[in-house]
Amino acid sequence: SAEEVAALADLAERAARAAGELVRAGRAEHSAVTATKSSRTDVVTAMDTAAEQLIREVLRAERPQDAVLGEEGGSTGGTSGLTWVLDPIDGTVNYVYGIPAYAVSVAVVAGEPAPPRWRPVAGCVHNPETGETWTAAAGGGARLDGEPVVAAPAPPLAEALVGTGFGYTAQRREEQARVVAHVLPRVRDLRRTGSAALDLCYLASGRLDAFYERGLNPWDAAAGWLVAAEAGISLVGLDGAGASQEMLVAAAAPLAAELAAELSRAGALPPA
């Protein structure tokens, strides 16, 4: 029901704010890189781990029957059919460098915990540095600090400010650099904010006209995805495919299709 979905959105927000306070207060002391994951550029701090732990505790206290999938802690099973999909710090590199563009992302999804077969139900993206908090509930719209967010009509691609992001391996980055070389001369400009969760919320709020990224993880995208979708943004893949982990292209229609076609021409995905 709408009430249940609103309660899930409220819990997502409370969990995200609690983690946000922890990571912001601890930044000076605990933002050193403690480990790397897929490559030397894929960093983790003690705060990523501590914040995810805190979110898991907040969720377990109220929703012990739900599954959890977190960037740092992996997956924990549940019986309710709902999975909380968490990124304690999306934009960890910004966090480490003190750039105030990182976010706590907390979402709850039904079905599989990854696109395209997930159904995001509620979510929150909270920037602890600015205090900005986007929330969304499926069928209930998106909000920024309580105010409704409705996507603006999209400009043509040539006048679009386009956000994107890069993976962490050298091979993926070489491919992405080739695509950027094709796209950059055809758009107003590009932005790489360093947080896919914020990119999707910025898009919903008109701070970007479009966003694309290849190889996002479910936790980077889940909450921002719902915020964007509820604001009226189209989320697609390439060549008529649905948005997936492989490729997410997001903009108000018809810009989403125009950008997807250009990315396809740029060879953004190797032929299947």
Q: For residues 206 and 210, what is the distance between their CA atoms, to the nearest angstrom?
A: 9
Cβ atoms 229, 220 nearer than 8 A: no
Cβ atoms 180, 190 nearer than 8 A: yes
Q: Binding of ligand IPD at residue 92 (CB under 6 A)?
A: yes
Which residue number, 12 or 103, has a Cβ lying nearer to ligand IPD? 103
Q: For residues 133 and 142, what is the distance between their CA atoms, to the nearest angstrom?
A: 11
CB atoms within 10 A of CB 152: 12
From the list 152, 260, 164, the residue with the least C-alpha distance to 207 is 152
Interacting span for ligand IPD (CB under 6 A) from 129-137, 143-151, 212-220, 255-263: 212-220
| Sign of the Cα pseudo-torsion (169, 171, 175, 181, in order) | positive
Q: Binding of ligand IPD at residue 87 (CB under 6 A)?
A: yes
Q: For residues 225 and 222, what is the distance between their CA atoms, to the nearest angstrom?
A: 5
Minimum distance from CB of 105 to ligand IPD (Å)?
8
Please select the residue that binds ligand IPD; options are 52, 66, 175, 220, rule is CB under 6 A: 220
Q: Binding of ligand IPD at residue 216 (CB under 6 A)?
A: yes
Cβ atoms 56, 68 nearer than 8 A: yes
Interacting span for ligand IPD (CB under 6 A) from 78-86, 88-96, 107-115, 254-262: 88-96
Q: Binding of ligand IPD at residue 196 (CB under 6 A)?
A: yes
State the binding string over 155-194 for ligand IPD (x if CB under 6 A, else -): ----------xxx--------------------------x
Which residue number, 63 or 91, has a Cβ lying nearer to ligand IPD? 91
Q: What is the bridge-based pairing of β-strands 82-90 and 161-164?
A: unpaired
Which residue number, 187 or 216, has a Cβ lying nearer to ligand IPD? 216
- Residues of this chain that bind ligand IPD (CB under 6 A): 71, 87, 90-92, 165-167, 194-196, 213, 216, 220
